Structure 1
């Protein structure tokens, strides 16, 4: 849709597209826009039950990639109503989902993404900030000092708790799980919670300070 003028509320994506032999770049760009929004591989009668013109993604510009044969940058605009408010998962599932397996394309890569302020404002952010953390730890007027437990993978829950205790007893304000510590066979989440809580309360009792540990719950 080359005549389409993007809106401030549109989510804009730039895809590097390599069409299959014989597929024009305009067709490939339109296919990316459709498959990642309201379209599918064929026309269905239920298309008439909604306003596709309102909800569909639009490929509004295509340009060749300098120095590359058969590669193009397809610019696609998505109306904001296509996405659940405050959901990174929903946004990326739509934009970088099964469109990457589309048969009209030999290769596809998301190069850039513009997220409008209107969508950013739908994200609530963390439920509390640094001031609440200071209130919970009862520590003010200085930086908070913490660390991630290492080795991040392979420790048993009991030994993980021991490391937490030594860190907190040694003077740290808090410890935290590494991002890839979840609930693996060598250390289940519930076991880690129990041993970390025991370590935290023991360190608090011995130091007279409030201590913290941040568990990965993702």
Structure 2
């Protein structure tokens, strides 16, 4: 009887240890997933920031106001998106399509910087700065979309609010657009809160 009692007392302890180990494993897995989501969301934010800041640079440069500091910022943002950055707290997304697009974006920005120097010399009317900035904007759109596509639902239907910022417009997926539009807003009834905070 005593042996049977000891055996019966031993089984719950073993089960408790197994359950505790499983629980710890689940918690660690959840933390890793959450960290990955946050890292990807930050990449999406910075991809959108590159797009917005570059358009601002072009506008001010065309007005005769040099923006070397902002140009350096965007250069560092692009490098961070390609290779990761501890300073910017950016992870490197190991997605081939995104990285290929970022390499294209980096090359296009180098071309754009050369055109900006020409604008400072002869004025924007004598350059292709407008068309080149539009081309850069389109590549940024694609890069941001690729990064947003790596976010899990409900954040994967990522689209910056440029296309649905006015009343009556609808998001590409057909959902009603949010009433406010942070820079990296996500179309849909449940915006991804990790993408909020950078205003256009």
Pairwise TM-score range, normalised by the shorter structure: under 0.3
Bigger Cα Rg: 1
More strand by share: 1
